[in-house]
Amino acid sequence: MTRTIVSFADAPLAPALHRELTAQGITDPFPIQAATLPDSLAGRDVLGRGRTGSGKTLAFGLPLLSRTAGRRARPGRPLALVLVPTRELAQQVTTALAPYATAVGLRCATVVGGLSLQRQADALRAGAEVVVATPGRLHDLINRGDCRLDQVAVTVLDEADQMADMGFLPQVTKLLEQVAPNGQRMLFSATLDSGVDRLVRRFLTDPVSHSVDPGTATVSAMTHHLLHVDPLDKTAAVTQIAARDGRTILFMGTKHRADRLARQLLANGVRAAALHGGKSQPQRTRILEQFRTGQVTALVATDVAARGIHVDGLDLVVNVDPPTEAKDYLHRGGRTARAGETGTVVTLVLPEQRRDMTRMMSVAGIRPKSVTVRPGDEALTQVTGARVPSGVPVTIVAPTPPAPAGRSTAGRPAHRGSGRPRRSRRPAASRPA
């Protein structure tokens, strides 16, 4: 059995990475990091499973950077690749790895849809050792001749099961066929299903498997509640929950319902915004920044936000529309109780949804607390912190658009001719990366 590490000091990382970990105040690895680092740093193919928020990004990011350090990429020929299913996750991974990449002198490029294709092509042609990409946009750049993957020696698939769920498996397969044949492959995910096993069998060589959580695991610091409501009371109950003190994510089934609820909340005095796939990437980035800074306190989201979004201190997730699968429930809930923090997941259940929710909780391995509530009930307040909103309509002012995030190298312009230095944000030391 492969040994685990107790401290990052025990891991044979590049010295500059040790110094950066110390500067970030990070000394003790999360379980997924402790389990996988000895194998990944040795160049083994790794199959890792850990719940959302368990620290998978540093688990694959540190060995990727350590094993790439000291090399220089030719224009359009990256040396390491991280494939992710969503734009939000790509940007989160880039942000988490940026200070460590800078420490070892590696350049990173983020390649996602919804942002300027030309700026991303320029970033690749200028030279980037590490590329964090969504499959579709990377395919576009390869087809244009802006990128080749034949020099990629370390490849990571993050949240591979969601890539399969979203229909990216054929694209991912074509991309893996183009990387260096004898390179290292690492696959990290909260669950390993939806056809991911086919990728494992074809592209990973004698992989070492590490699972620090069962497939249906939930966090011990996370509490689950089913709030049974009458259809006529649901909107008022949701509004009172959203008016609570603190930030809240409220999940909806469709983007139209998300937009409608956000408008209703704003009209009742709740600082709300909707986040879904119908928003442009700059809009989504600005909304998330408003949520992180507290300008928006109620984020009304579809499942586009169920993975890849990390907000420190988020302690309540509300399923206004219950998910259809246990896996979706777990990923929604994974936005809270991250990195050892506590959190609560609340699901509003109408009478006709009770049977399906009971079945889903059983599949997910969860024993929720159930209570029937009405707006203004003490039970609703105790579970969620609900309170009556002000009723005074509010308007959320759109912030100034940030500089395009084509390149993540600290100290460089965001794009040629911008005239503005790119602002580098360092992740908090306590954030599970």
Model confidence pLDDT, tens digit, residues 404-428? 444 444 333 333 333 333 333 334 4
CA 71 to chain centre: 28
CATH no. for residue 29? Answer: 3.40.50.300
Residue 69 belongs to some domain of the structure = yes
**Do 174 and 61 lie in a common domain?**
yes
Task: Report the candidate in 85, 258, 93 with the shortest Cα–Cα distance to residue 168.
Answer: 85
What's the mean per-residue pLDDT of the chain?
85
In a domain, 31, yes or no: yes
- Residue 221: CB atoms within 10 A of its CB come to 14
- Read off the pLDDT of residues 155-201 as tens digits, 9 standing for 90 and up: 999 988 888 877 888 999 999 999 999 999 999 876 666 678 888 88
Same domain, 192 and 247: no
Residue 103 and residue 242 in one domain:
no
- Residue carrying structure tokens 């509004």: 239
- One domain for residues 367 and 251: yes
Determine the pLDDT at residue 110.
96
Domain end residue (candidates: 211, 246, 268): 211
Predicted pLDDT of residue 364: 82
Looking at 166, 192, 211, which one is the last position of a domain?
Answer: 211
CA 153 to chain CA centroid, nearest Å: 24
pLDDT tens digits along 301-339: 988 765 656 677 788 999 999 998 887 888 788 776 554
Q: What is the mean pLDDT of residues 33-43?
A: 94
The half-sphere exposure of 340 on its side-chain side, counting CA atoms within 13 A, is: 8
Q: SS3 string of the chain? A: CCCCCCCHHHCCCCHHHHHHHHHCCCCCCCHHHHHHHHHHHCCCCEEEECCCCCCHHHHHHHHHHHHHCCCCCECCECCEEEECCCHHHHHHHHHHHHHHHHHCCCCEEEECCCCCHHHHHHHHHHCCCEEEECHHHHHHHHHCCCCCCCCCCEEEEECHHHHHHCCCHHHHHHHHCCCCCCCEEEEEECCCCCCHHHHHHHHCCCCEEEECCCCCCCCCCEEEEEEECCHHHHHHHHHHHHCCCCCEEEECCCHHHHHHHHHHHHHCCCCEEEECCCCCHHHHHHHHHHHHHCCCCEEEECHHHCCCCCCCCCCEEEECCCCCCHHHHHHHHCCCCCCCCCEEEEEEECHHHHHHHHHHHHHHCCCCEEEECCCCCHHHHHHHCCCCCCCCCCCCCCCCCCCCCCECCCCCECCCCCCCECCCCCCCCCCCC
Give me the sign of the Cα torsion angle 283, 288, 289, 291: positive
* Residue 251 sits in the same domain as residue 150: no
Q: What is the pLDDT of residues 272-309, one digit of tens each?
A: 999 988 888 788 888 888 998 889 999 999 887 656 56
Task: Report the distance separating Cα 261 and Cα 239, nearest Å.
Answer: 9
Asked if 129 and 275 sit in the same domain, the reply is no
Residue 395 lies in a domain: no
Q: Are residues 207 and 227 in the same domain?
A: no
In a domain, 428, yes or no: no
Q: Do 307 and 162 touch, CB atoms closer than 8 A?
A: yes
- Host domain of residue 146: 8-211
Residue 113 resides in a domain: yes
* Residue 409 within a domain: no
Is the same domain home to 166 and 294? no
In terms of domains, do 189 and 228 share one?
Answer: no
Specify whether 26 is located in the same domain as 162: yes
Phi then psi dihedrals of residue 202, to 5 deg: -85, -35
The segment with the largest mean pLDDT, out of 181-185, 220-224, 343-347, 403-407, is 181-185
| Tally of structural domains, the chain | 2
Q: Is the pTM of this model over 0.75?
A: no
In a domain, 263, yes or no: yes
200 and 277 housed in the same domain: no
Residues 13 and 131 in one domain: yes
Query: Could you say which of 340, 365, 384 is where a domain stops?
Result: 384
With respect to residue 40, please indicate whether it lies within any of the assigned structural domains: yes
Name the one residue in this structure whose structure tokens are 């069998």: 201
